Structure 1
Amino acid sequence: MVNRTRKAIEMMYRDKCTIVEYQPIKDPVTKRTNNKEVVVLENQPCKLSYKNITSATDGKVAKLEQTIKLFISPNINIKAGSKLIINNKEYARSGEPAIYPNHQELLLELLEDKA
């Protein structure tokens, strides 16, 4: 039953996710270890969901906030501090994932453009 439900959920995944972790890499020449970006998973099916929330501050100014949620396989381990590239945009994991038998949900933050 879990497999059928999971397959049905994953059929709705229209996006692809690449997960990048910062890992210590030793330079063979200088012998120094620096954190470098390493792709640990590419083209993983997923689904992004956006929710806009309008709230009033001090009863005068409306403030618009957007919540970005990622739906992905529960078997994927996305470490804190990882960068996720989805639809050519870069995101960071925000908080702990909610893991269910058929999927997991993660809140994401859009990373600022590097200009």
Structure 2
Amino acid sequence: MSLFEGLKKATPLLWTDKAKITGTKKVVKNHITNSVETTIVENEPCKAILKGQSSSTQTIFGTDEADAKLLIRNGIDIPAGAVIYVTDQNGNTTKYKRSSRGYTGYYSHQEIAMVRDEKA
């Protein structure tokens, strides 16, 4: 057993956010392949980290865009382009899109780069 096994279990206990991640999966019906919207995980402990926000990114169209990272446990296959809803400890939900595929190089978690892109 690895010394990092305890870290893998303890890290999610520090995360107070919850994630709902939706994406598409391919379904074959009558020899026709379609993509269907599906929920990958729901109410999953995570931590969203805002990498940077600038008032100069706000435009006349009223968008509020910021780069962020999502820390979430390994073992979840999160495809690029997934839509991620993060609810913080205060009950505020933020929608993120244009997400990257999960980077699973860490023993205790994976990281997903994503963009908050909502109307301000």
**TM-score w.r.t. structure 2 length?**
0.67
Q: Deviations over 1:44-100 (max 9, x none)?
A: 11011113266xxxxxxx846843110001111101121111112221253343321
Structure 1 counterpart of 2:37: 37
The separation in 2 between residues aligned to 1:53 and 1:97, in whole angstroms, is 22
1:19–1:84 CA contact under 8 A, matched in 2: yes
Q: Partner of 1:6: helix, strand, or coil?
A: helix
1:18–1:42 CA contact under 8 A, matched in 2: yes
Task: Describe the shift of the 1:40–1:53 C-alpha distance in structure 2 as closer, same or farther (beyond 3 A).
Answer: closer
Is 1:47 aligned to residue 47 of structure 2? Answer: yes
Tell me, which stretches of 5 or more residues in structure 1 are unaligned? 55-61
Provide the aligned C-alpha RMSD in A.
Answer: 2.8
The separation in 2 between residues aligned to 1:76 and 1:4, in whole angstroms, is 19
Q: How many residues align?
A: 104
Identity among equivalent pairs (%): 29
Opposite residue 89 of structure 1, the aligned amino acid is T
Task: Describe the shift of the 1:37–1:52 C-alpha distance in structure 2 as closer, same or farther (beyond 3 A).
Answer: same
Task: Describe the shift of the 1:34–1:89 C-alpha distance in structure 2 as closer, same or farther (beyond 3 A).
Answer: farther
1:93–1:106 CA contact under 8 A, matched in 2: no
Structure of greater Rg: 1
**TM-score w.r.t. structure 1 length?**
0.69
The separation in 1 between residues aligned to 2:45 and 2:18, in whole angstroms, is 5
Is 1:110 aligned to residue 112 of structure 2? Answer: no
Structure 2 counterpart of 1:18: 20
Structure 1 counterpart of 2:75: 75
Q: Partner of 1:10: helix, strand, or coil?
A: helix
